[in-house]
A and B are shown apart, each in its own frame.
Chain A
C-alpha cells in the first residue's frame, strides 16, 4: 500500500515544519523528491539527511519568473513531475480594518498566484503522460475563517476552489487534484501564536492537542498514491476534530 517507488515529487516550502515532514514521508515511501525552499542551506541539510533520490530547487515564490523557472527546472531535472505538493505558504496577520495592501498582496501572491503558476507549468506534462497527483496544502481556516487572517483565509479558500475547478478539467487525463487542510499543527507558523491564542485554540480542538507534520504528511501520501486513484476535487481535513466539515 502507498508505494511511491519511482514516482517523482516536487514539494514546495520543504524547509518548513509541515513541508519537511511531507518531503520526508514521500521519500520514505520510495519517491524521488524535489525540495523547493528559499533557504539553500536548509535545503542542502535536508537533502543530505535524506541521501539518495533528492534534488533541491531554491526559488522565491513571490517572483513570478522564478516560479515559472522552478516548474521548468523541476520537470527537466526530475525527468517529469508526477506528484506536485503545493505546500509553501506565508502569513501576514492583522485585523482587517488595518490590513495593508502590501500584506494582502504578499500573501495572495505566494499562497495562491504562485500555486496557479507552478501548477500550470506542471499540469500540461502530467496530462500528456496521463498521470499526475496535485496536492494543495490549504488550511482549516480557509473553510472556517479566522479573525486576523482575512488575507491568509482568502488565499486558502481560493486554493480549494482552484483545486475543484482544475480537478474537473483534467480528471479524464488521470490527473487528480486534491487538498489537505491541516488544523493547528506544531510548526514555525503556529509557534508565532501567543499563549493566550494557543489556549483558545486548544479549547476548540476535541483532541486537546496540536497535530504534527507527520499526521499531515500521511494524508498527502495517501492522495499521492495509486490507492487514491478515484479521489479528486476533495479536501481531507487533518485537524483533531476542530472543524467537522
Chain B
C-alpha cells in the first residue's frame, strides 16, 4: 500500500471507528463502513486537511470508496 493509502486508511479508521481489516480499497464508506452523509463530509474535510488538497463538492460526490479517495488524492498531488 502506498503512503497515501495508509494515511487515508488511518483517517477512515479513526473517524468511523471501524476495524482496520474492513478498510479495503473497494469498501464503500456508506454501504460497507456505516458512514452517514455527515461522516462523508467530515471525511472529505479530514482528507483536505491531511493532504493539503482541495476537494470540490462535485469531486467529493464521486468519492464513494476508500479507493476513490486514494485515487483522487494521488491525482491531486501529482
Contact = CB atoms under 8 A, between A and B. Distances in A.
Interface of A: 124, 127-128, 169-170, 172-173
Contacts of B38: 127, 169-170, 172-173
Contacts of B36: 172
Interface in B3-40: 36, 38
Contacts of A169: 38
A127 B38 CA distance: 10
Query: In terms of DSSP, what is the predominant structure of the interface of chain B?
Result: helix
B74 interface: no
Contacts of B42: 124, 127-128
Contacts, number: 10
Interface of B: 36, 38, 42, 45
User: What 9 pairs between A and B have smallest CB-CB spacing?
Assistant: A127-B42, A124-B45, A169-B38, A172-B38, A172-B36, A173-B38, A170-B38, A127-B38, A128-B42
Contacts of A172: 36, 38
A128 B38 CA distance: 11
Nearest to A127: B42
B68 to A, nearest CB: 22
A127 B42 CA distance: 9
A170 B38 CA distance: 8
Contacts of B45: 124
Nearest to B45: A124
A169 B38 CA distance: 8
A8 B24 CA distance: 39
A176 to B, nearest CB: 15
10 contacts: A124-B42, A124-B45, A127-B38, A127-B42, A128-B42, A169-B38, A170-B38, A172-B36, A172-B38, A173-B38
Nearest to A170: B38
Nearest to B15: A128
A179 B45 CA distance: 28
Contacts of A127: 38, 42
A12 B42 CA distance: 27
A188 B38 CA distance: 41
Contacts of A128: 42
Nearest to B42: A127
A73 B54 CA distance: 23
